[in-house]
A and B are shown apart, each in its own frame.
Chain A
């Protein structure tokens, strides 16, 4: 009697424990660890973490990722590389990533290295540890060149974010319109002294030279600069009508815009200036940024596009949960990278890095950034048709709103010239 009672009690307890455990544990659902090294205390790092967490939440709510028939949830492990701080040495950022890899043993890395210089140095680190890396932060075009030197070594690295050249090309049509329809001719280039910025401006400069613009200046500026009076004086003296720049450091970008306004420099900003290039830009910069032309690269980073329902829904969901993104670059790519990885793991049926990588290569996914396919250098293909490729766009601040002006697939308005421009 006593034995039967004890046995029944034990069975009851076991049943109770079994039903109280989450389904994924019963199914053997050990988490799939996603290492997320990034510059946490930056606008893009902050937005990317939110985007990744949103995707992870959605996937886990459906039970997780099916790995060989067993549902396993994603689990994110974040580490701060401080890669965007002007004074952070590349070595420190790399060490932060290696520590994450050795201590947390992630199955994949997402978002990834921030500053492009650090990314280039980190490619060997990822290749050494053979971990699938789906990057959505650094955007130097040098990635493809390095990859092509040894595809077998670097095969673990993929990039969903745009490269600087593709992002710059989204702006060139706006530049052509300024010349063709509004008669502007003189341009001054003011890149930040970083790989990405100089690459971006280099593309714009070549385009301007080939289309009859007069390049009246090129001055690269240290990313921790806190005074732009000298270069803005040069811009004024050169009678430039357009300033092309790419500035992703918040402090410098804000000082640049404020000083441009206070010094009354009559030239239009075209390119990327953090602060103004943000869905929150009007809130914090005000009417000073009206008429300036910037890029959203890729789409899905803040503008709810009327012509692309999936992108619009993601942006609206993101805003509802987290508020407007701080930056305007990369959020959509970070979100899509999780779905790309999940689908690749499911197709591979396991977490073996080589098998997962082989499946990521075969990706053909309709994401918030457009159609996601990788080229031979593991870079997502960018173009002008979201049915064929991922997309960047150029927009202009008009009446306090970000109006997409290019490419035609997503355009909602045309380029307007400010009344204070001299022709």
Chain B
């Protein structure tokens, strides 16, 4: 039981890390950033490059990678999305193509197999009763919770965060108050992309750095966002907990091969019963991506 609680919580926080950037961008600018998975992997890969090709320390490589992904997100909005702002299908297509291009180029260049790895921050772990947990997972758990708190504080208690909320609530009114929506949109994509890079740095050391992982991250991010409600931060956390604990419980009591059914089943169920998501406010299915 203790193992279920601990690893269920860890899995949930990993899902939060995957989904945070995606949900933030959609919540503020209304853009479903399907390049999220590509940016996640690119963030991890840039960290690897800074460490191995340039010989920089891990911590510095991580910071540079987060900043670089932020700039990429900003550039993606200002360079491509600005021109098609408001045409939802085009926004989806552009971000989707960007994501596929990133992942396929990385795969073409050899980012597959077990060759590329990010090291864990600290080797070893602790035991809680009979349950052994490594420090990296604990660090990801703590960081995920801290990040959630920081982002909440950001959007509620900073000028920029309040601008973001203003645009999210009513763009026209926000414009009339002098909040520039394009600038806010670009910043939201920048922050969302940086969050993707942060997630990569925390989670990728648990496994391997491979281009295909980006597709799974995108699927999980979209699943959590849909189940929780696309523009609801609280919904995102609730969905992560449901899916994370659900997966570990299913693996424990039914069988590991059924784990993938949990997120897929959650999507089917939520779209059938409550299409706007657990804590979403949009009511029409057509308004969903």
A residues at B contact (CB < 8 Å): 41-43, 46, 85-87, 193, 219-222, 224-231, 233-234, 236, 250-251, 253-255, 258-259, 262-264, 274-275, 278, 280, 284-285, 326
Contacts and interface: CB of A to CB of B under 8 A. Distances in A.
Interface centre among B132, B213, B215 (most CB of A within 10 A): B132
Given A227-B251, A262-B125, A219 B132 contact: no
Nearest to A45: B112
A262 B134 contact: yes
Interface in B188-234: 206-208, 210-213, 215-216
Contacts of A262: 125, 132-134, 136-137
Given A221-B256, A221-B257, A274-B114, A251 B3 contact: no
Contacts of B127: 264
Contact of B117 (A226, A254, A259): A254
A133 to B, nearest CB: 25
B207 A254 contact: yes
A255 B213 CA distance: 12
A278 B255 CA distance: 29
A266 to B, nearest CB: 11
Contacts of B130: 236
Contacts of B136: 262
Contacts of A219: 255-257
Contact of B251 (A230, A253, A264): A230
18 contacts: A41-B107, A43-B112, A43-B113, A220-B255, A222-B259, A224-B216, A224-B260, A231-B251, A233-B131, A233-B252, A250-B112, A251-B207, A251-B213, A255-B206, A262-B125, A262-B134, A274-B113, A284-B117
B115 A41 contact: no
Given A227-B247, A250-B210, A326-B115, 18 more contacts: A219-B256, A220-B255, A222-B257, A230-B3, A230-B251, A230-B252, A231-B256, A250-B208, A251-B207, A251-B210, A251-B213, A254-B114, A254-B117, A258-B206, A262-B136, A264-B125, A264-B127, A326-B114
Contacts of B96: none
- A-B pairs, top 8 by smallest CB distance, nearest first, are A262-B134, A230-B251, A275-B114, A229-B7, A255-B207, A221-B256, A254-B208, A230-B252
Contacts of B110: 41
Contacts of B257: 193, 219-222
A224 B259 CA distance: 10
B208 A263 contact: no
Interface residue tally on B, bucketed by range = 35 or more
B242 to A, nearest CB: 16
A258 B115 contact: no
Nearest to A273: B114
Contacts of B206: 255, 258-259
B276 interface: no
A200 to B, nearest CB: 16
A229 B3 contact: yes
B80 to A, nearest CB: 27
Contacts of B252: 230, 233-234
A219 B108 CA distance: 34
B256 A225 contact: yes
Interface of B: 3-4, 7, 10-11, 107-108, 110, 112-115, 117, 125, 127, 130-134, 136-137, 206-208, 210-213, 215-216, 247-248, 251-252, 255-257, 259-260
B115 A284 contact: yes
A280 B256 contact: no
A264 B133 CA distance: 9
Nearest to B6: A229
B40 to A, nearest CB: 13
Contacts of A221: 256-257
B24 to A, nearest CB: 23
A285 B114 CA distance: 9
Contacts of B216: 224, 226
A284 B256 contact: no
Given A262-B125, A326-B113, A326-B115, A233 B256 contact: no
Contacts of B248: 227, 229-230
Nearest to A229: B7
Contacts of B131: 233, 263
B18 to A, nearest CB: 11
A354 to B, nearest CB: 38
Contacts of B211: 41
A230 B7 contact: yes
Nearest to B208: A254
Given A226-B216, A230-B251, A258-B207, A42 B132 contact: no
A220 B256 contact: yes
Contacts of A226: 207, 216
Contacts of B10: 229
Contacts of A41: 107-108, 110, 112, 211
Given A41-B107, A255-B207, A280 B115 contact: yes
Nearest to B248: A230
B249 to A, nearest CB: 8
A259 to B, nearest CB: 8
Contacts of A255: 206-208
A42 B113 CA distance: 6
Contacts of B137: 262
A85 B207 contact: no
Contacts of A275: 114, 208
Nearest to B250: A230
A41 B251 CA distance: 29
Nearest to A226: B207
A250 B114 contact: yes
A346 B102 CA distance: 46
Nearest to B116: A284
A230 B256 contact: yes
Nearest to B7: A229
Nearest to B252: A230
Contacts of A46: 113
Contacts of A233: 3, 7, 131, 252
A160 to B, nearest CB: 23
Contacts of B213: 251
